[in-house]
Structure formats: structure tokens, C-alpha cells
Amino acid sequence: MLTATQKRFLTDLFPGDACVLTPEETCAFGADSSRIFAQPWAVVRPETLDQTRSLLKWAHEERVPLFPRSRGTNVVGDCTPKGGGVVVSALRMNRIVEVSGDDFVAVAQPGVVTADLQRACEAKGLFYPPDPASVRISTIGGNVSTNAGGMRAVKYGVTRDYVLGLEAVLPGGEVIRTGGRTHKNVVGLDLTRLFVGAEGTLGFITEVTLKLLPRPEASASVLAGFAALEAALDAARDVFRAGILPVAMEFMADEVLRALAKVTDAPWPQGTQAVLLLKLDGSGETLPLELKRLETALAPSSPSFMARGMGADEEALWEVRRLINPASFRVAPDKMSDDVTVPRGRVAEAVARIRDAGREAGLTVLVFGHLGDGNLHVNIMHDAAGGEGERARTLKETVLGIVLDVGGTMSGEHGVGLTKRPYIDRQIGGRELEIMRQVKAVFDPHGILNPGKAY
């Protein structure tokens, strides 16, 4: 809890509604999309670098834990002030500082919503590729802190691949500036990428410089159904074998298709057991040819169904993908979702074993996601009120065991946060963990930044 003096410091530094102290108001900042709740001691909303510096100097000296946050879309509890402390909202640092079509860079404050930045880039014929599913509600600061992935990662990579430099305030109040605005830079240790995916544990990011690409002229997608999961995975392999690098390659297994059928008129015929959804981009002139190549690559796996879409038709194809989450709740009232990644060649085995484990547990498991990079989303559907919560938790651990057993990782894009922290030593060795904590201590010797998270 904060002392009266500490509270006075905060209200002086953050006048008006920039500091919130009453439990009734701060409680809205106590949880993120993980729905794990902890009561914040206070919430502050810095607007300037100077305010942020004063805050981090004070917190460092007073040993007050700080929990950075912007839109709180994190699903592993990264924004939850567990153990108590001050939530620091980045939402008033939400300026797109610059979008440069000459340098192909954007400079943004952490509170900028990613879709807003994407639009600002598109308006200048530029392209910021990272595209997490939360793009319309999550922010650049959060995306950088979790190394957000998304749909387009197969061709364009993840957030890390676009961060050229950043400004951050360290505990103690010092400002560091890493990297720069050049597309190549190999001077000194790469502190920039060390911040990417660090889940807010090293410093409070106040500005990010991002690499942009020229905007592709057009895109097109293909939705294809298959009589068996194996056929879908064979088709995916043949796409890569044909030398095609799609922007996105999503898949949905049987249980997902059945859930979707409850909320929409599914375009695939009866007997379809798996669906692939692929996106290409390029020029308007060449895309029809590329689509034909893609369809040719899929053909040997005898798709039960194929639909192609360009322009408005393309969006319609992606609608089914977006319906997975609402459809999940037609299967069971509660969802325990997971984000794991396996080596691309082990997807078939991992999916089969996860489904078997689900059957054994008597729970429906929806497996879908970013097939192109082996990034599987696993929704364990259950009825918590009906007493299935414990079984779901056990199944989640079983899934983790399967994933690690096939050489995978417990998180492909959501991070470790609070919820996966208990399992981290099943994936990361003791010495490696110790190094991570010692590196953190270089930035944050008193451990005030997002304590208890990530590693």
C-alpha cells in the first residue's frame, strides 16, 4: 500500500484525472484479458517524458512496483498488478509522431493503437505488416513488449522484425535511446530487440521507431476444404514446396468447423474435416496467376471445396476465421485458450496428440491458427460451473507437455506473463533463466518493473 506521502507525490506529479487512487476507479485497471485480477494501489497516466522520468526515479527509490499497461489485451496476465503496485497507463502517450515515406519509418508513442498506425501508413502508400488478431484494440507499446505476431507472420515476420529503435525510461529515471531510424544497424549490443518481447520488465517504452515497407498493390485469399486433416497438412506442405511464400496460412481442424457451423452458414460441403485459409499479396496483374499456382499446389490433396476472393470478397473469406471465438462458446460456456508453437513438420503429430488428449479428458478442444509458422491456438472448451475446470487445467498441462515433447515452445505470440510462469523451467534451462534475471537486474536492480512476470 502507498503511504500518504507517496500518494501526495503521485497526485502532485499527475494532476487531475491523470492519477486515480480510489479502489472503485482503479479496479478497472486490475485485470487484463486474462481476467486475472489484482487491486492496483494507484493508476497513473503520464503524458510526457519528464513525468515518466520522475515516476521511475521515485518508484526506484521508494521500491514501489510499477505495472505498465496500455489497452490490457494481454491474455497471460502481463498487465495484472499482482502483488500490488502502481499501474502506469501508456494511453495518454498516443501520438503518431511521424510516418516517413522517404525513410520508410514510423515513429509512434506506446499508446498508439496498431490499426491506427497501419491506417496512417496506408494513407501514404506504406505498410506496417505486423497484424495481431487484436490489431484494432491493442497498441504499439503492447505489441512491442510481447513481440506480437499475427496473421501475416509467414511472409512478413513478427513485430521484432520491424522495431528499429526505441526510447525507454529505466527505473531510476534515466532515458535510454537504442537503435535508430536506419534499416540496418550493427553498432553495439542489440538492446532494441532485447526490449522486444521483454513483457515490460526492463524499462517503460516511451517511443518506438518502426520499419515500414512499400504497400503491396493488392491481396487475394483462398479458402480450401479437405476430407481429412492430413490432406490439409499435405496441401500446406505442397504450397511451400512449390516455392510459394504466402502472407498467411491458417488452418482449422474438424471440431472448429463443427463449432462454426452453429453460428454461420459454412461454405464447405459435408464431410470436410479441415480447412486452410491462405492469403497472397502482390500486384493486381500478377495475383490471378499466383492464385492459380496456389490452387495448382493444393489440387493433389483433392480439396472438397475451394473459394478465392479478391477485394470485398476476400474479407468475406476471413469472416469465418473471426467467428471462431464467438463460435467456441456454442461448444461450452468456458474457454481456456492457449498459444503454442511447434516445429512446422510436427504440426500433424501435435494436433493428433492434443485431440486425443481432449477425447481422453472428455473435453472438446478447438485447434486452429497460424499453420504457416506452426503457431497453434488451442481452445479447451469446458463448463467450469459444471465442475470441468480442474479437468481443463490438467488438459492444459498435458497440451504443454505434448508441445515441449515435439520441440515446441509454450508461447508463440502471447508471452509468458503470469499464467505460464509456473511452467517456464520446463522449457528454459536454469542457467538461461538466471542469465535473463541478471540481465534484467542491469536495467532494474530493485525489480520494480512488472515483477513476477515472464521469466
- For residues 183 and 322, which CB has a smaller minimum distance to its own copies in the complex? 183
* 214-237 b/e (C-beta count within 10 Å ≥ 16 → b): ebbebbbbbbbbbbbbebbbbbbb
Stretch that binds its own copies, among 97-105, 130-138, 318-326, 380-388 (CB under 8 A): 97-105
Instruction: Supply the minimum distance, in Å, between the C-beta of residue 230 and its own copies.
Output: 14
Instruction: Supply the minimum distance, in Å, between the C-beta of residue 61 and its own copies.
Output: 18
- For residues 2 and 433, which CB has a smaller minimum distance to its own copies in the complex? 433
Instruction: Supply the minimum distance, in Å, between the C-beta of residue 325 and its own copies.
Output: 20
Residues 144-163 that bind its own copies (CB under 8 A): 146-147, 149, 153, 157-158, 160-161
- Binding marks (x or -) toward its own copies, 272..311, rule CB under 8 A? ----------xx-xx--xx--x------------------
Handedness of CA 294, 295, 299, 302 (dihedral sign): positive
Separation between Cα atoms, residue 307 and residue 408, nearest integer Å = 32
Residues with Cβ within 8 Å of residue 195, at least 6 apart in sequence? 144, 145, 163, 166, 168, 178, 202, 203, 205
Residues with Cβ within 8 Å of residue 267, at least 6 apart in sequence? 223, 305, 307, 320
Would you call 362 exposed, middle or buried from its count of C-beta atoms within 10 A (0-12, 13-18, 19+)?
exposed
Which cell goes with 301?
490433396
Stretch that binds its own copies, among 15-23, 30-38, 98-106, 353-361 (CB under 8 A): 98-106
String of DSSP letters for 149-211: -BTTHHHH--GGGGEEEEEEEPTTS-EEEEE-SSS---SSS-HHHHHTTSTT-S-EEEEEEEE
Q: Is 443 in the site for its own copies (CB under 8 A)?
A: yes
User: How many H-runs (helices) and E-runs (strands) does the chain carry?
Assistant: 16, 18
Beta strands in 201-264 (DSSP E): 204-211, 213-214, 218-226, 248-253
Instruction: Supply the minimum distance, in Å, between the C-beta of residue 282 and its own copies.
Output: 8
Stretch that binds its own copies, among 36-44, 224-232, 320-328, 438-446 (CB under 8 A): 438-446
Q: Is 352 in the site for its own copies (CB under 8 A)?
A: no
The correct pick among 4, 312, 385, 442 for binding its own copies (CB under 8 A) is 442
3-state SS of the chain: helix, strand, coil percent to 5? 40, 25, 40
Calculate the alpha carbon distances from 63 to 423, 446, 448 in Å.
Answer: 27, 7, 6
| Neighbour count for residue 177 (Cβ, 10 Å) | 14
Strands 96-100 and 175-179: unpaired
- For residues 14 and 128, which CB has a smaller minimum distance to its own copies in the complex? 128
Stretch that binds its own copies, among 36-44, 94-102, 248-256, 307-315 (CB under 8 A): 94-102
Q: In which element (H, E) is residue 42 found?
A: strand 42-44
The correct pick among 4, 15, 24, 188 for binding its own copies (CB under 8 A) is 188
Instruction: Supply the minimum distance, in Å, between the C-beta of residue 344 and its own copies.
Output: 5
Residues 189-248 that bind its own copies (CB under 8 A): 189-191, 193-194, 196-198, 201, 213-217, 237, 240-245
- For residues 37 and 423, which CB has a smaller minimum distance to its own copies in the complex? 423
Q: Is 251 in the site for its own copies (CB under 8 A)?
A: no
Residues 387-416 that bind its own copies (CB under 8 A): 407-416
Strands 86-89 and 42-44: parallel
Instruction: Supply the minimum distance, in Å, between the C-beta of residue 333 and its own copies.
Output: 29
Nearest to 86 by CA among 24, 119, 43: 43
Instruction: Supply the minimum distance, in Å, between the C-beta of residue 400 and its own copies.
Output: 11
- 3 state SS of 75: coil
Instruction: Supply the minimum distance, in Å, between the C-beta of residue 32 and its own copies.
Output: 16
The correct pick among 32, 207, 373, 388 for binding its own copies (CB under 8 A) is 373
- For residues 249 and 363, which CB has a smaller minimum distance to its own copies in the complex? 249
The correct pick among 396, 440, 448, 451 for binding its own copies (CB under 8 A) is 440
For residue 99, the Cα-to-chain-centroid distance in whole angstroms is 23
- Binding marks (x or -) toward its own copies, 16..55, rule CB under 8 A? ----------------------------------------
- For residues 107 and 260, which CB has a smaller minimum distance to its own copies in the complex? 107
Would you call 328 exposed, middle or buried from its count of C-beta atoms within 10 A (0-12, 13-18, 19+)?
buried
- For residues 85 and 149, which CB has a smaller minimum distance to its own copies in the complex? 149
Separation between Cα atoms, residue 171 and residue 446, nearest integer Å = 8
Instruction: Supply the minimum distance, in Å, between the C-beta of residue 439 and its own copies.
Output: 6
Cα angle for residues 446, 451, 452 (degrees, 5° grid): 130
Beta strands in 409-451 (DSSP E): none
- For residues 7 and 215, which CB has a smaller minimum distance to its own copies in the complex? 215
